[in-house]
Structure 1
Amino acid sequence: MTNLDTSPALNLPDSIATLQYKLESEPEKIQLKLVDDLVTVGEAGLAVLMDFLSKHSSEVPLSQVNAKIYQALFNSQTPQVVDFLQKHFPTGTVPLKSDSAIDYAPLQQLLAQQDFEAADRLTLQLMCKLAGDAAAQRKWIYFTEVKSYPVTDLQTIDALWLAHSNGKFGFSVQREIWLSVGKNWEKLWSKIGWKSGNNWTRYPNEFNWSLDAPKGHLPLSNQLRGVQVIAALLIHPAWLK
């Protein structure tokens, strides 16, 4: 663990100190709830979150708690927090790796803001860009183009969606559900809320652009609803490494 020494020793009231202790010691599910509790406290709670993020920023594997703390701080927009994030986490908590020289910072910021609809549109744009100039111009993807996606880039996109949805959204989540239903596409569409009975969910207004959506609901990138493209995505080597 790396301590960035971003703040002086915290002198906290007992109730805040208790929350801080629990944040350090409880299981992840409880930690995620404690982040919300600390945000409601105000500046003292934000100080605890900054301190925690400083201490745990280098942990592997990537922590959903760290991502949630980052987005809570990001959305608070207090001067001290803005300075802290700009100095130590200018691109969030997920390493924005790319083998295609693509900048994933705009996607990270939209997801941190929980603007899932805009993030979904940008995800499609980035995936078209990954597929090459022809796909970027036509604004949709052939399944044959998916096979050539760099593992690193797909993993970065997926990690961002996972990190900023408490593990609820992402291609790897959709793959997990797909495997759990025996690779049955109709069961997958139903489980992730892309189809109800014989009716496809209509884009964009019938989709749920919030964390209240079914697990695996996003990213949608509406052009991906053909079986060939999403099948190519879900069998990509990115999920085997």
Structure 2
Amino acid sequence: MANASLQSFLLPQHHSFVNTSSSHESSPSALLKLSNTGGSISFRLYSNISPSVTTTSTTNSSAPTPVPPAADLLPAPSLDLLGRQLAAGDYRQADETTRALLIDLAGESARRRGYVFFSEVQFISAEDLCAIDKLWKEHSNGRFGYSVQRRLWEKSQRDFTRFFIRVGWMKKLDTEIEQYNYRSFPDEFMWEMKDDTPEGHLPLTNALRGTQLLGNILTHPAFEEENHKDEATAESATAAATTGQSKDDNKGRERPKIMRDFKPDYSF
């Protein structure tokens, strides 16, 4: 019955599948025939000039129609996500999340553009920058983070070339003359915590084509207070080493003005 019903439906409408010649007396150049075998309906197209073409449709198949997989969606950047990635030691993805967080925190224009202008760093709150920095330090034994980079940058006398060498963003070339070259992103950067991973190596900031963005991050008010603490600690240690006295020996004594004004040499 199913075969008869389909034939009664298809055959009267065979003109939709048949190409006729310009002469009414000539036979059609193509003919559609239907057959039903074992629950499978076959449509065979016979042509005067080309081999037959068969299309098969299974009527009783229980297999579901395949659905193309949905596009993979990246998780929204958040401090919680950053913390989980750092705790798992996935520094590569944590670096990407940090970059995405900076874009999100910098404002609507940065989000539309997909990157941060150096002038937009001022719109990122000190609280948010400190929270990002704290996570990096907590999960790297204090070796990674913006405040760590700020300290090393100051020790490099704010010279970015010397800073890049110090944090390992530039590599020494095997030449007779001492020469350095920028590392190739991402393969030549270090995504694991090892003994030879330079302090301050992460997070990365796109500073190789311009240092203004990184400079504005490192001079953000979020890191000013901590930098002053580092300077005070360095001055105190230098003073103790210079005078040969311990902290207890200096109790109750006012430091000479020349020592109060002394600034240690941060060069290397």
Which of the five TM-score ranges fits, normalised by the shorter chain? 0.5 to 0.7
In the alignment of these two chains, the number of paired residues is: 139
TM-score (norm 1): 0.55
CA distance in 1, matches of 2:127, 2:188: 32
Unaligned 5+ segments in structure 2 are 1-76, 172-178, 226-268
Counterpart position of 1:135 = 110
Letter in 1 for 2:192: S
Counterpart check, 1:210 vs 2:192: yes
- Aligned positions of 1:41-120 closer than 5 A: 103-120=78-95
CA distance in 2, matches of 1:209, 1:232: 25
Deviation readout 1:68-93 (Å, 9 max, x if unpaired) = xxxxxxxxxxxxxxxxxxxxxxxxxx
Shift of 1:205: 0.4
Deviation readout 1:108-138 (Å, 9 max, x if unpaired) = 0000001000000000000000111221232
Letter in 1 for 2:199: K
Counterpart position of 1:239 = 223
Structure holding more helix per residue: 1
Residue 201 of structure 1, aligned match among 173, 178, 183: 183
The answer to which structure, 1 or 2, has the higher relative contact order (CA under 8 A, 6+ apart) is 1
- Aligned positions of 1:10-25 closer than 5 A: none
CA distance in 2, matches of 1:224, 1:127: 14
Q: Which has the larger radius of gyration?
A: 2
Deviation readout 1:189-235 (Å, 9 max, x if unpaired) = 001111124421111100000112210000004x3442100100111
Shift of 1:140: 1.4
Deviation readout 1:7-44 (Å, 9 max, x if unpaired) = xxxxxxxxxxxxxxxxxxxxxxxxxxxxxxxxxxxxxx
Unaligned 5+ segments in structure 1 are 1-101
RMSD: 1.4
Shift of 1:146: 0.7
- Aligned positions of 1:151-166 closer than 5 A: 151-166=126-141
Sequence identity, in percent?
37
Letter in 1 for 2:153: W
TM-score (norm 2): 0.50
CA distance in 2, matches of 1:167, 1:187: 21
- Aligned positions of 1:213-224 closer than 5 A: 213-221=197-205, 223-224=206-207
CA distance in 1, matches of 2:183, 2:102: 22
Counterpart position of 1:180 = 155
Letter in 2 for 1:153: D
